[in-house]
Structure 1
Amino acid sequence: MNMFSKIEVDANDMPSLTAAFLARLSIEITPKQIEKVALLRDRLPQGTCVYVALIDPADLALQIEAVAAIRASGLEPVPHVPARFVRDRADLEHRLSALATGGRITQALVLGGGAPQPLGIYDAAIQLLETGLFEAHGVRKIGVAGHPEGNPDIIKARGEAALIDALKVKQAYLASQGIEGYIATQFLFEAGPVAYWAKGLRDHGITLPVHVGVPGPATIKTLVKYAAMCGVGNSARFIRKQALNVTKLLTVSSPDAFVENLAKLHFEKPELGIAAPHLYPFGGFDKLLDWVSSRMP
């Protein structure tokens, strides 16, 4: 619970529904953005989940330091643990021990990771989960990756069904260990693909709640850059279309309509399990936090 959770919800008032959904937010930083922890502490309610991405395996020590700083600030640290950046069981044991000691982690996001080749013996999130080391180090809630617009690398290598099968296996493992699970998605720009994908998950027996990646306010130029880097799919088409107009490149795009439509799905179609927004500060933390504050009553 946090100060946002006191928002009164009026089913007939879209701003209140949007604010109530946005109150469930989490946010993401990189290890090199550790100096932003103080800002997040001052601007977000205590207990807000702050994810610490690991894009470069060389940043592991910084990630461990950032996780400890987040915990010390009264926020909830959620480290990314990408399988392809873990060399072996001893490596995983070492990093989880360090994260547990300094950050007292109870939650983690366990991913396959985007590296073309694994650094060690793991290349899939389920391999890390099945070590049993997460629960041994006090982790009681685990997120796994979801791809509403597909994952080209996996689909090319193993077909689209592999994505569903992988989620089924991870869901079964988490349930067998009594670990609370959820899906954290790649960022995208429209709610329609999320609803369609979530319905497909439910049809296949996957019931994990979904935390949807939402890009914060940023210029069209910046959003196009991140969309290209991260392989975001069809929902980015309107961003790319705007980018064709050079005069619009520095126009700031805000996710108002996206978040409003996600809020509608959250409250009006609970069977889809659209649980929360996960915010990416592509346009800067101040801009993102100002936007969040402006949507709160």
Structure 2
Amino acid sequence: MALLNFRKRDVAAEAGPVNGAIEALLKDYSIEVMPRTAEKVEDFRALLPEGTRVYIAHIEGTPIDDMVATAKRLNEAGYPVMPHFPARIIKDRATLVDWIARYQGEANVDQALLLAGGVEKPHGDYDSSMQLLESGAFGDAGFKRLHVAGHPEGNRDIDPDGSMTNVDAALRWKQAFSETSDADMALATQFAFDAGPIIKWADGLKANGIDLPIHIGIAGPAKLQTLIKFAIACGVGPSLKVLQKRAMDVTKLLLPYEPTDVLSELAAHKAAHPDFGITHVHFFPLGGIKANAEWAIKNGGASGVPADLS
């Protein structure tokens, strides 16, 4: 044990000075993988802190067998797993119940992220995460934690006119549902690059009586071109200007983007306002899981130390 503790201190020392507010915000961060990206990771314990929640993104066309196998591997490595349940690719209730049973029986899963999914035309009976919640299937299975999507910059799939009308109505519905559910619920958001709109959105939710904990989506380190491509594809709104401004700066164009600035601002705001609705950081490792984990180790102090060094 003494050797492990010594190695843990070495990692912190190599990281250099750590911003205490960022370290606090990164405590219990989560990260997202896909089966094909998870396959490239030899040992998650060498990268992620013990107990890190790992979301598994279910992209259209990914076989459920691959999803469950990835969940089983992560669970056996000691990580709590939160698979996506995209409503629009789930054919019917029988399929939904089967997926839940497989995740539970084969991978010991008891939590899920429910979302509409990035599919224009539903494959079957479901169109939204609210319909999945209404099905009662997760309650029947005794799921302990359910996360639903949040959109700090809106969602043009839901509000094509750019307003927040339907998004806000959905959040009020989810808030009401959370008050009757036995499961712990939270919002897991799309990634954004500008702290200002995020803070305004989070404060606005609380002012309107929506107090679901917010797990804020943050893009991990990546090439600027990669981030712009994903930001456009995922409908990221006003904060895309942060990337475009960076692209115009020749001195930064070839440097990888790192989420230091946005997390510094969010961490400072939370330190000054302890009741701030953002409780956790959820990373989208768009530049790779290893790069994201190494950034967290360097900037997160004890909150980023991987499991095999803790």
For normalisation by structure 1, the TM-score amounts to 0.90
Q: Tell me the alpha carbon deviations over residues 244-264 of structure 1, each in whole angstroms, 9 at most, x when there is no partner.
A: 467754321111111111212
- What is the match of residue 30 of structure 1? 34
Secondary structure of the residue aligned to 1:253 is coil
Change (3 A) 1:102 1:266: farther
Change (3 A) 1:18 1:246: closer
Give the aligned residue type for 1:76. Answer: P
In the alignment, is residue 209 of structure 1 matched against residue 213 of structure 2? yes
In the alignment, is residue 76 of structure 1 matched against residue 80 of structure 2? yes
Asked if the contact 2:214/2:279 (under 8 Å) is kept, the reply is yes
Matched residues in 2 for 1:105 and 1:268: separation? 36
- What is the match of residue 60 of structure 2? 56
Asked if the contact 1:71/1:104 (under 8 Å) is kept, the reply is yes
- What is the match of residue 135 of structure 1? 139
Secondary structure of the residue aligned to 1:150 is coil
Asked if the contact 1:220/1:248 (under 8 Å) is kept, the reply is no
Q: Tell me the alpha carbon deviations over residues 253-294 of structure 1, each in whole angstroms, 9 at most, x when there is no partner.
A: 111111111212333223331111101111122211111111
Secondary structure of the residue aligned to 1:81 is strand
Q: Equivalent of 1:94, from 88, 91, 98?
A: 98
Q: CA deviation at 1:92?
A: 0.2
Q: CA deviation at 1:146?
A: 0.5
Matched residues in 1 for 2:178 and 2:78: separation? 27
Give the aligned residue type for 1:50. Answer: V
- What is the match of residue 240 of structure 1? 244
Unaligned runs of 5+ in 2: 9-16, 303-310
- What is the match of residue 177 of structure 1? 181
Matched residues in 2 for 1:153 and 1:35: separation? 31
In the alignment, is residue 259 of structure 1 matched against residue 272 of structure 2? no
In the alignment, is residue 19 of structure 1 matched against residue 19 of structure 2? no
Secondary structure of the residue aligned to 2:19 is helix
Asked if the contact 1:26/1:50 (under 8 Å) is kept, the reply is yes
Q: Tell me the alpha carbon deviations over residues 11-45 of structure 1, each in whole angstroms, 9 at most, x when there is no partner.
A: xx981121121122100001212324543222222
Q: CA deviation at 1:151?
A: 0.5
Give the aligned residue type for 2:238. Answer: N
Matched residues in 2 for 1:50 and 1:202: separation? 27
Secondary structure of the residue aligned to 1:56 is coil
In the alignment, is residue 123 of structure 1 matched against residue 144 of structure 2? no
Unaligned runs of 5+ in 1: 5-12
Asked if the contact 1:100/1:138 (under 8 Å) is kept, the reply is no
Secondary structure of the residue aligned to 1:152 is coil
List aligned pairs for 1:153-164, cutoff 5 A.
153-156=157-160, 160-164=164-168
Q: Equivalent of 1:275, from 257, 274, 279?
A: 279
Matched residues in 2 for 1:264 and 1:236: separation? 22
Q: Which structure exhibits the higher relative contact order, with contacts defined as CA atoms closer than 8 Å and separated by 6 or more residues?
A: 2
Give the aligned residue type for 2:63. Answer: D
Asked if the contact 1:224/1:243 (under 8 Å) is kept, the reply is no
Give the aligned residue type for 2:288. Answer: G
Matched residues in 1 for 2:247 and 2:161: separation? 31
Secondary structure of the residue aligned to 1:270 is coil
Change (3 A) 1:77 1:265: same
